[in-house]
Amino acid sequence: MTDLAAVYIGAGLAAIGCGLAALGVGNVFAKYLEGALRNPGAADSQQGRLFIGFAGAELLGLISFVVAVLILFVVR
């Protein structure tokens, strides 16, 4: 196996994190919708918290993207 192949495999493995963050983001919105359907009156006031949770979950996926790009373009 050449070094370049190892770089590509590493970048691909790092990109798994993006998929896992997708689970997290989906979970955030799913739980919000679940709660909002149970109590629609309280839904609007919690939208800020929804986006804070979204931002946190998404950031970790974006960091795995950054790691993949760093492996692809910088580390080699």
Interface residues with other proteins (CB under 8 A) are: 45, 48, 51-52, 54-55, 58-59, 62-63, 65-66, 73
**How far apart (Å, rounded) are the C-alpha atoms in residues 8 and 28?**
31
Pick 6 or 62: Cβ nearer other proteins: 62
**Where do the H-state alpha helices sit in the chain?**
3-14, 16-38, 47-70
Pick 8 or 51: Cβ nearer other proteins: 51
- Closest approach, Cβ 7 to other proteins, in A, equals 16
Look at the chain and count its residues: 76
The 8-class DSSP code of residue 15 comes to: T
Pick 36 or 60: Cβ nearer other proteins: 60
